[in-house]
Amino acid sequence: MDRLQAMQLFVRIVELGSFTRAADQLGMSRASATALVKQLENHLGVRLLQRTTRQVSPTLDGRSYHRHCQTILAEIEEAESALSQTASHPRGRLKIDLPPSLGRLVVIPALPDFYARYPEITLEIGIGDRMIDLVREGVDCVVRIGELHDSTLVARSLPPQLQLTCASPGYLARHGVPDNPEALDGHWCVDYLSATSGRVLPLEFTVDGCLRPLTLPARLAVNNGESYVAACEAGLGLVQVPHYHVARQLAAGSLVEVLPRHRPPPLPMTVLYPHHRHLTPRLRVFIDWLVALFRAEPAASSS
C-alpha cells in the first residue's frame, strides 16, 4: 500500500463526500479507490468512513485522522516545494475562480505576461459569480468583489478599484450633464440587481467626504455586468461601474464619465484561499502577480 497515496485519497473523499469524485480527481478507478481505503483502514485497525446510499462521511476516528492527514500532506508539499522550486521558477497546476467581467477584461488579457514569468504553471480558470466551496471543488483561490462578509477563508486584500458614474453621449444630450448629485432630478438610471440578494443596488456619491446613496427611477434592471454596460451605451440611464469594465467604451467615446468629483467609493477586492492550503510557491506568485496587475489599474484615488 502506498500510504501517501492512500492519505491523499482519503482527504479528497472526506472533502468531496464521494469515492467516485475523489477517484476521478486523482486519476484512478472507483474500484481501486475503494480497495485502497480498505487497505488503509485495515492498516490502522479502525473504520475511517461511514457509507450510505447518498453520501460518504468520516467517523469520529476518521475526522481525527483527516486533520492529521491535512497537516502532513501540506508539510510534505511545502518541504518539496522548498527543495525543488525557487521563488522565480514555481511549477504545477492552479485552479482559480474569477468574476466574469474581471476575468474577461483584466486577468485573461494579461496572462501572456504571467506565462512569460512563470512558464511552468498551468492555470484552470472558472468564470462565474456563484459562491463556491473551495475545498469541495478543489479550487486553490478565488477573487471576490465587494465587502467580505464572515468568510472562513484566508483573505488577502487586492488594490481597490476606481469606480465611475457613466452615461452615453446621447443620453446626456437629452437629459443634460449634471454637475452635482442634487442636479440629478429628471435623470434615469439602469438598476443593477445584486447576485447574492437579488436586491437593487443604489447609486452612491461622495459629497463633502460623506457617502450619499441615491435612488433614481429606472426602466430596466439587469443582473449582469455586460448587460449593465450595454444598457448604458444604449442611452437607458446612468450606471456606476469599476473603471476596468468601461475603459474601452470611455476611450472610444461611447460612454462618458459624469460627476467625477463625486465618484462612488473604491471597489474592494479580495483573493481568498482555504486555511489548509499552505501558500505554495505557485499560489504565492499568482497572488503577488494579481496584486501588481490591479495596482496597475487607474488608482482609486484618481480624479
User: What are the start-end ranges of the H helices in 85-133?
Assistant: 100-102, 108-117
- How many domains, in total, are found in the chain? 3
Share of the chain above pLDDT 70, in %: 91
CATH code for the domain of 72? 1.10.10.10
- Look over the chain and give the mean of its residue pLDDT values, rounded to a whole number: 87
Share of the chain above pLDDT 90, in %: 52
Residue 188 has pLDDT above 90, yes or no: yes
Question: In terms of pLDDT, which residue wins out, 231 or 53?
Answer: 231
Report for 51-55, 148-152, 284-288: range of highest mean pLDDT: 284-288
Model confidence at 301, in pLDDT bands (50, 70, 90)?
very low
Contact 163, 240 (CB under 8 A): yes
Is 303 inside any structural domain?
Answer: no
Is 201 inside any structural domain?
Answer: yes
What gap in Å lies between CA 224 and CA 53, rounded to an integer?
A: 39
Sign of the alpha-carbon dihedral angle for 98, 290, 133, 29: positive
Is 203 inside any structural domain?
Answer: yes
Which phi and psi angles does 8 have, rounded to 5°?
Answer: -60, -45
- Which of 56, 84, 112 lies at the terminal end of a domain, its last residue? 84
Give the domain range for residue 58: 3-84
- Which of 65, 84, 103 lies at the terminal end of a domain, its last residue? 84
Model confidence at 302, in pLDDT bands (50, 70, 90)?
very low
Is 137 inside any structural domain?
Answer: yes
C-alpha cell at 262: 463625486
Model confidence at 255, in pLDDT bands (50, 70, 90)?
very high
Question: In terms of pLDDT, which residue wins out, 107 or 301?
Answer: 107
Q: For residue 94, what are the β-bridge partners?
A: 123
- The arithmetic mean of pLDDT across residues 243-265, rounded, is 95
Contact 76, 4 (CB under 8 A): yes
Q: What is the pLDDT of residues 107-122, one digit of tens each?
A: 999 999 999 999 989 9
Torsion angle, alpha carbons of 84, 89, 94, 96, to 10: 140
Contacts of 287 (CB under 8 A, 6+ apart): 141, 156, 271, 279
Least confident of 41-55, 100-114, 239-253: 41-55
Same domain, 273 and 254: no
Looking up cell 465587502, which residue turns up?
147
**Chain centroid to CA 237:** 29
Same domain, 189 and 98: no
C-alpha cell at 300: 482609486
Question: In terms of pLDDT, which residue wins out, 150 or 289?
Answer: 289
